[in-house]
Chains A and B, each alone.
Chain A
């Protein structure tokens, strides 16, 4: 009687948003950060980004036996995020191994996007960090050479401002805002990171609770317990916010959809937890920076946080409430 009418379960309208469109939005958000890193670190930045992004996409396509290299775009995001947390002088083959590890060990062994427990980019970084610690930084970092595309970075070494008080006193507020300071590709310029994050906020892909919980904790702990660390133009709390990888971590890494809690309360707890662990490492640990491991540890706690922060159902009155 009839030609084919589509029969399906309700609802019959959908929002235009897809996993791919979210991933493309994240790539757009990372654009200013990537651009600034090229201004700061020249061709090295471009090389590392190209290697990690391409390797990540190809690795995933091979693993999934998929023809479309871009796919849902999540591999490109992982690759680019990984590049953002690599030092500019890292040998290219290490970056390649990091990208392969991020996709396979960080994501696909769990069953692919949505099933991974840890942020894949940070898994890649952690593996590189424990494998080639000296190349992954420490206290001595290659400094930026502003607007010199072909610059030999190894010639200008600096130290991360988090290394000791002396280094901390040597940096200025404007350095931390623009990113003209030693550090990983994408973590130095606060301005670029915040600009990118605005895009994600406007698209409602990230919830304010994680960054606010994270950054708020870092600021408060920095102000009260970072005492005497820095007496320059900035308060110690503000210094801890802007130096190192906290901004990039709080806005781009901790907010990863897959590895953060889905409850609103849980997200706040998650952010605060990241902040506390980061500051404990910075103030009392052997490493100058603790963002990577703070987020990875909180990733592991995400299911527990979700379980303990179940909101009351509509109309339900909690005992004791």
Chain B
């Protein structure tokens, strides 16, 4: 077995052992769900419901006329109790539909369709109607990605799951293999791509076998075993590793005739085409050193993270018994100060949270609960020019100079050294002996460059 990979990058500790053998399970009903009307890159949706309306699971509750947009669906039966801005995982307030969940749910049933008989237009519209977005975390609307202006010859299914801790894609590959392979075939049909490539990191040999045994004799599908190196699951690095093509800076994979889709997205595509099932639930990993029961869960979009943590046994070291000020979605935190860290997504690119009422959205691949011992120092020192960030940067950039120039407010020079091409994988910060928050500097520069561009446009 030849194992392929991309240049540079880094070998990280996996931390997958917490949850990799946990089968996907469900949790009990939350009392309320908060469904943000923007869970994708693009235009926000307009609410189709108002306070007091009855909604059922799968009902469309938000949409927009814009092309780059994905409709939003209710994930449980209930009554709308508010349509208002609520805090989102990225720290911003997002217009959200808050639903009081009915204690008795009617499991929705979906008519089966023969996917072989669907035309490409029908597949595309099924994907659009289902509100599917890139579920690896990028949340780009899938129907837009599958309407490329250039011919596509290869579909790559991103089955790397290179972020430490996360195991939800792994479990889906094992437990929903058929849906995954069928989803990949549907995606390839939409863009008329002759080749399908599964890029799987070799720390998931069981998943590799499962996919292989589901392929039958399909000669258009190949499985590429990939090294367990971070960020193997980044689009550009995955394309380079699996079919040796380089996407030019600032361009999309379609430039080299490739569309990359994540495992969860492919499965969602299959379910949308086969059952017309909207994207209102997803599988995510709950892990970290401080969670009592690490799990892989299928949860409804809109479920508050505090409730999910509670369903997983709560946080280690936290006082037992319900506190008086505790709300239904909340979970007691350890008495220590700081109490820990809660991260949505993976540890390298995820977002740390300050509240427990943040809802799960379509792009949430994991909830990580870290004990205070796992918390890294936030103080940083001067750059010692060791060059480790340059050595490991998968985009061949100069993270050190980007950081130094951002500190000096020279955003133009920071951009010149590649800040715009950075996709914020976090390796530079991981390796930095001076603990410099280079990814943060990159974000600052990107924000400043964008602001300058807007200002120039308004003149």
Binding site for B on A (CB under 8 A): 1-15, 17-19, 21-22, 72, 111-115, 205, 207, 257-264, 267, 310-317
**Are B333 and A18 interface neighbours, CB within 8 A?**
no
A60 to B389, CA, bound (A): 27
Contact of A6 with B164 at beta-carbon distance under 8 Å, contacts A1-B325, A22-B386 already known:
no
Query: Shortest 8 CB-CB distances between A and B: which pairs?
Result: A11-B426, A262-B387, A114-B382, A9-B440, A315-B246, A257-B386, A14-B376, A11-B348
Contact of A313 with B354 at beta-carbon distance under 8 Å, contacts A6-B375, A12-B370 already known:
no
- Scan residues 369-393 of chain B and give those whose CB is less than 8 A from a CB of chain A: 370, 374-378, 381-387, 390-391
Smallest CB separation, B346 vs chain A (Å)? 9
Smallest CB separation, A174 vs chain B (Å)? 37
Contact of A315 with B433 at beta-carbon distance under 8 Å, contacts A10-B439, A12-B350, A13-B164 already known:
no
Smallest CB separation, A189 vs chain B (Å)? 27
Residue among B251, B398, B424 making CB contact with A310, cutoff 8 Å = B398
Contact of A15 with B431 at beta-carbon distance under 8 Å, contacts A6-B375, A316-B249 already known:
yes
Q: List 7 A-B contacts (CB under 8 A).
A: A1-B356, A3-B334, A3-B337, A7-B353, A17-B433, A114-B434, A314-B240
Residues of A with C-beta under 8 A to B251: 315
Residue among B249, B339, B347, B354 making CB contact with A13, cutoff 8 Å = B347
- Scan residues 300-358 of chain B and give those whose CB is less than 8 A from a CB of chain A: 325, 327, 330, 333-335, 337-343, 345, 347-356
Residue among A15, A19, A257, A312 making CB contact with B396, cutoff 8 Å = A312
Residue among B248, B334, B337, B430 making CB contact with A316, cutoff 8 Å = B248
A205 to B434, CA, bound (A): 14
A311 to B330, CA, bound (A): 50
Residues of B with C-beta under 8 A to A312: 396
A-B contact count (CB 8 A): 165
**Are A11 and B430 interface neighbours, CB within 8 A?**
yes
**Are A315 and B248 interface neighbours, CB within 8 A?**
yes
Residue among A7, A14, A259 making CB contact with B352, cutoff 8 Å = A7
**Are A10 and B397 interface neighbours, CB within 8 A?**
no
Contact of A314 with B434 at beta-carbon distance under 8 Å, contacts A10-B350, A10-B351, A19-B381 already known:
no
A113 to B381, CA, bound (A): 10
B-side interface size class = 35 or more
> Is B449 at the interface (CB under 8 A from chain A)?
no
**Are A3 and B386 interface neighbours, CB within 8 A?**
no
- Scan residues 6-27 of chain B and give those whose CB is less than 8 A from a CB of chain A: 12-13
The listed residue with most A CB atoms (<10 A of its CB), out of B334, B356, B386, B424, is B386
**Are A14 and B430 interface neighbours, CB within 8 A?**
yes
Smallest CB separation, B384 vs chain A (Å)? 4
A11 to B10, CA, bound (A): 14
Smallest CB separation, A81 vs chain B (Å)? 15
Residue among A260, A263, A314 making CB contact with B395, cutoff 8 Å = A314
A196 to B9, CA, bound (A): 28
Residue among A5, A21, A263, A317 making CB contact with B339, cutoff 8 Å = A5
When C-beta atoms are compared, the residue in chain B nearest to A72 turns out to be B381
- The prevalent SS among residues of B at the interface is loop
**Are B341 and A12 interface neighbours, CB within 8 A?**
yes
Smallest CB separation, A29 vs chain B (Å)? 15
Residues of A with C-beta under 8 A to B396: 311-314
Smallest CB separation, A169 vs chain B (Å)? 42
Residue among A2, A10, A15 making CB contact with B333, cutoff 8 Å = A2
**Are A2 and B376 interface neighbours, CB within 8 A?**
no
A19 to B388, CA, bound (A): 12
Residue among A10, A111, A207, A259 making CB contact with B348, cutoff 8 Å = A10
A315 to B327, CA, bound (A): 50
Q: A5-B340, A10-B347 are in contact. List 7 more A-B contacts (CB 8 A).
A: A5-B354, A10-B348, A19-B434, A257-B385, A264-B390, A313-B249, A314-B394
> Is B429 at the interface (CB under 8 A from chain A)?
yes
Residues of A with C-beta under 8 A to B443: 9
Smallest CB separation, B228 vs chain A (Å)? 16
When C-beta atoms are compared, the residue in chain A nearest to B334 turns out to be A3
Residues of B with C-beta under 8 A to A22: 386, 433
A116 to B49, CA, bound (A): 63
**Are A258 and B385 interface neighbours, CB within 8 A?**
yes
> Is B435 at the interface (CB under 8 A from chain A)?
yes
Residues of B with C-beta under 8 A to A19: 381, 384, 433-434
Smallest CB separation, A74 vs chain B (Å)? 8
**Are A262 and B433 interface neighbours, CB within 8 A?**
no
Smallest CB separation, B100 vs chain A (Å)? 20
**Are A17 and B431 interface neighbours, CB within 8 A?**
yes
Residues of B with C-beta under 8 A to A310: 398
Smallest CB separation, A5 vs chain B (Å)? 6
A113 to B349, CA, bound (A): 30
A19 to B374, CA, bound (A): 20
A260 to B375, CA, bound (A): 32
Residues of A with C-beta under 8 A to B386: 22, 205, 257, 262
A39 to B76, CA, bound (A): 79
